[in-house]
Amino acid sequence: MKIVTAVAPVNIAVIKYWGKRDETLILPINDSISATLSLEHMCAKTSIVCSPDLTETKFWLNGELQPTDSKRFQNCLREIKKLVNPNLEYLSWNLSICSENNFPTAAGLASSAAGYACLVYALAKIYEINGNISSIARMGSGSACRSIFGGWVRWQMGNTTDGSDSLAVQIAPETHWPEMRVLVLVVNDKTKTYSSTSGMKTSVETSTLLKHRAANIVPQRTKEMITAIKNKDYKTFAKLTMQDSNQFHAVCLDTYPPCFYLNDTSRAIIELIHFYNQNKGETKVAYTFDAGPNACLYLLEKDVAEVIAMINYVFPPTSLKSDYFKGDTVPSKKLDEEFTEVLSKHCQPEGKLKYVIYTRVGRGPKILLDSQDHLLTESGIPKFL
């Protein structure tokens, strides 16, 4: 019997992946870049038991038994097993897999990235595989390949038809830009109606802007973004991040029929950030939005207190909310009166934001060794049962 428990982080792209050239292998039409977020506040946790006593392979996600015949799950398992010595006794043993996310699943908060990175990382430990497993995580969900590494990560699209060169590489470790902070503004934490997978498929089929973006914009932007990250050039980093998010959502509008991921609150956030940067006379905050209305703000630690105060003022929580801020302890600051006055025209009704997660750039997946952390008993039964 073997048992392994791993945790893996989410990542939020600053150059977006949107569009596949191969649906089965999950090969993208452009490079993408992301930061991996701290495991402390948002992570997937997966336990795997491999035992000769298990009569079938089972997989529970967030307490619910899942089908194990899904293509993505099977592809990850098959590709991992290809790297294992065929004479290894336990290669034929069944698996019990139990996973849970400590943040909303399928709500546009990159749960598939953390989830598949965690599954593949834990499988690699079970079968004692070393090397870059990001191309296997990619077959679970494209963005998952970037969650295999901490810090700043590039997913190189690659050129081969078998996908062997489509993998993630670290641009810089999590210690590289220690002042960088992240605020996730959760506008909606319910399961989204239109998945990234189907949205990007329709974009590939119908959007001419997507083709232009992949061929003429992203290659140069990727180079500029890598230089900005390496030089810790916040101003350039922020501008590229916002431009790329906006172009990705323009592609969504150019898709036929269009996919609407942003809502009125998302647009109010975009306006507020531009107003703030302009008012301060410098770029202090950058927004980015994935395939959903939730905003992810990248900003430097020195500006967090004021931005939090501004968010609190513009997006007042409903009076019932006691846990509005999750994650690291938020610093407090009073907005000066003059600024409060000009800000008042941006004020939104109560409750437009569900909650805010204050976090930072973090490390990649890790193994938890304490048996108390296992989600399964040694016989492969979920502890929640």
Ligand X SMILES: Nc1ncnc2c1ncn2[C@@H]1O[C@H](COP(=O)(O)OP(=O)(O)OP(=O)(O)O)[C@@H](O)[C@H]1O
CB nearer ligand DP6, residue 13 or residue 229: 13
For residue 26, the partner it binds in ligand DP6, ligand X, none, with Cβ less than 5 to 8 A by kind, is ligand DP6
Q: Which residues are CB-contacts of 380 (< 8 A; sequence separation ≥ 6)?
A: 49, 51, 53, 54, 58, 95, 96
Residues that bind ligand X (CB under 6 A): 44, 61, 99, 101, 105-113, 115-116, 118-119, 143, 195-196, 290-292
CB nearer ligand X, residue 111 or residue 135: 111
Query: Is the Cα torsion angle 9, 10, 15, 20 positive or negative in sign?
Result: positive
CB of 319 to ligand DP6, least distance (A): 33
Nearest by Cα to 119 from 179, 186, 43: 43
CB of 117 to ligand X, least distance (A): 9
- Given the DSSP bridges, would you call strands 152-155 and 325-327 parallel, antiparallel or unpaired? unpaired
CB of 112 to ligand DP6, least distance (A): 5
CB of 43 to ligand DP6, least distance (A): 17
- Given the DSSP bridges, would you call strands 64-66 and 58-61 parallel, antiparallel or unpaired? antiparallel
CB of 153 to ligand DP6, least distance (A): 11
CB nearer ligand DP6, residue 198 or residue 227: 198
CB nearer ligand X, residue 75 or residue 312: 75
DSSP 133-173: -HHHHHTT-GGGGGGGSSSEEEE-----TT-TT--EEEEE-
The residue type of 380 is G
For residue 142, the partner it binds in ligand DP6, ligand X, none, with Cβ less than 5 to 8 A by kind, is ligand DP6
For residue 32, the partner it binds in ligand DP6, ligand X, none, with Cβ less than 5 to 8 A by kind, is ligand DP6
CB of 71 to ligand X, least distance (A): 11
Give the CA angle between residues 23, 287, 103 to the nearest 5°: 65
CB nearer ligand DP6, residue 96 or residue 294: 294
- Given the DSSP bridges, would you call strands 58-61 and 325-327 parallel, antiparallel or unpaired? unpaired
For residue 17, the partner it binds in ligand X, ligand DP6, none, with Cβ less than 5 to 8 A by kind, is ligand DP6
Q: How far apart are CA 195 and CA 116, in angstroms?
A: 16
CB of 141 to ligand DP6, least distance (A): 3
The residue type of 361 is V
The residue type of 63 is G
For residue 107, the partner it binds in ligand X, ligand DP6, none, with Cβ less than 5 to 8 A by kind, is ligand X
CB nearer ligand DP6, residue 90 or residue 194: 194
CA distances to 235, 257, 315, 346, 367 from 272, in Å: 17, 29, 11, 7, 40
Residues that bind ligand DP6 (CB under 6 A): 13, 16-18, 26, 32, 112, 141-143, 196-197, 290-291
CB 374 within 8 A of CB 383: yes
Residue whose Cβ sits closest to ligand X: 115
